[in-house]
Structure 1
């Protein structure tokens, strides 16, 4: 898990990177929670999702948004952070030119940034969004959503009510063949502090179901 420094739009971006296990390993990019609320790449959820994809052989990167940790710059209301994420994806793709597809996983603010990124990058074949802040940010950009993924929220989330996520996601259109899965973890709050193993299991189960389909759809051609 080597430390890496990525040249970002506002200076360096601090990250952790693990290369893929195979020549045609896919890519995973992990995006942390809100920078002004203590979000960083060492949050439990970020480390957990990083490890999930790393164990599956993905070329995996997590990093600090601008102004967090040793990353330069300052918080930019999500606009700059989306640019950071795009730059980080470019960086990991440069080292993994044979990757058949990419995956994006984020928590809260990171989920919002990640879902914007997948709208701009057709190589993103799937997403994991943990506690997306639908009551704080506009999600109408998902018009239509181009990739299947899973949204996981805690039933006791006091920051983003489950009813609000249901309301927003019920209005999201998807492309043909795309499915957004919704799951609720009983008793979990916004940060899943005491429910990290349960969150991890839901992610693992979803990837077990979904990845064989994606690999078949995007396997390298001979």
Structure 2
């Protein structure tokens, strides 16, 4: 899990990168929760997603938004963080020019940033969105959503009510030419404190059905 430092819009950004096997290994970018509420690339949900993609042979990158850890800059209400994510994807693509597919995955605030990046980068072929904060941020830009993907939510989320996410899902599922799957985890709070294995299992199952990669390690249960 090598540490990497790459250039962002406001200075250096700190990340962790796992290179996939094979010249055409798919790529995945992981985005962390809100920087002003303790969110970092080492968040347990983000780390768990990182491990899922790495086990499946992806070249995968997680990184700290500006002002977090060793990343330079200051919090910019989402606008700058979206630029950071675009720079991270540029870096990831520069090392994987022949990647056969590109995925984005984000948790909470990172899910909101990830969905915005999805709208701006047509090469992104799939997404994983965990606890998207539909009650806190406007997701109306997903009109239409350009790619199919998976949304995972806990029904005991104390920060993002499940009803707000379900309302977003209902809108997305009515759009044509894409399929949005909704994975609801019973009893899970916002941070999936005791359900991280269930979260990983749902993501593994979705990727089983929507990618052609084979995981290198043991599948989460």
The TM-score bracket by the shorter chain reads over 0.9
SS at match of 1:124: coil
TM-score normalised over the length of structure 1:
0.93
| CA positional deviation for 1:55 | 1.1
Asked if the contact 1:30–1:46 (Cα under 8 Å) also holds between the matched residues in 2, the reply is yes
Q: How does 1:116-155 map to 2 (within 5 A)?
A: 116-155=116-155
Q: Aligned residue for 1:220?
A: none
8 Å Cα contact 2:154-2:185 kept in structure 1: yes
> Counterparts in 2 of 1:174-193, with a 5 A limit?
176-193=176-193
How big is each residue's C-alpha offset from its partner over 1:119-152, in whole Å with a ceiling of 9 and x where there is no partner? Answer: 1111100000000000000000101011110110
Give the Cα separation in 2 of the matches to 1:81 and 1:56.
27
Secondary structure at 1:172 match in 2 = helix
Quote the offset at 1:29 in angstroms.
Answer: 0.2
Unaligned residue ranges in structure 1 (runs of 5+): 214-222
Using the alignment, how far apart are the partners of 2:160 and 2:181 within structure 1?
18
Secondary structure, aligned partner of 2:141: coil
The 5-angstrom pairing of residues 58-137 of structure 1 reads 58-137=58-137
CA distance in 1, matches of 2:125, 2:162: 26
Q: d(CA) in 2 for partners of 1:42 and 1:134?
A: 23
Compared with structure 1, are the counterparts of its residues 83 and 23 closer, same or farther at alpha carbon in structure 2 (3 Å cutoff)? same
- The answer to whether the Cα contact below 8 Å between 2:173 and 2:179 also exists between their aligned partners in 1 is no
The alignment status of 1:19 with 2:19, answered yes or no, reads: yes
Q: Secondary structure at the match of 2:86?
A: helix
Residue aligning to 2:166: 166
C-alpha distance in 2, partners of 1:173/1:189? 24
Q: CA deviation at 1:160?
A: 0.8
- TM-superposed deviation, 1:175: 5.9
Give the Cα separation in 2 of the matches to 1:212 and 1:145: 23
**Alpha-carbon separation, structure 1, partners of 2:122 and 2:174:** 14
User: Which SS does the other structure have where 1:171 is aligned?
Assistant: helix
How far 1:209 sits from its partner (Å)?
Answer: 1.1
What is the CA distance between 1:183 and its match in structure 2? 1.4
**Separation (CA, whole Å) in 1 of partners of 2:177 and 2:20:** 28
Equivalence for 2:56 = 56
The superposition leaves residues 179-208 of structure 1 with CA deviations (integer Å, 9 ceiling, x where unpaired) of 011111000000111110111111111111
Q: Give yes or no for contact 1:9–1:84 (8 Å, CA) kept in 2.
A: yes
Looking at structure 1, the residues matched to 17 and 157 of structure 2 have their Cα atoms a distance apart, in angstroms, of 31
Q: Structure 2: how far apart are the matches of 1:82 and 1:25?
A: 25
Distance 2:175 2:4 in 1: 36
For the 8 Å contact 1:17–1:61, the answer to whether it is kept is: yes
Give the deviation of 1:211 after TM superposition. Answer: 1.2
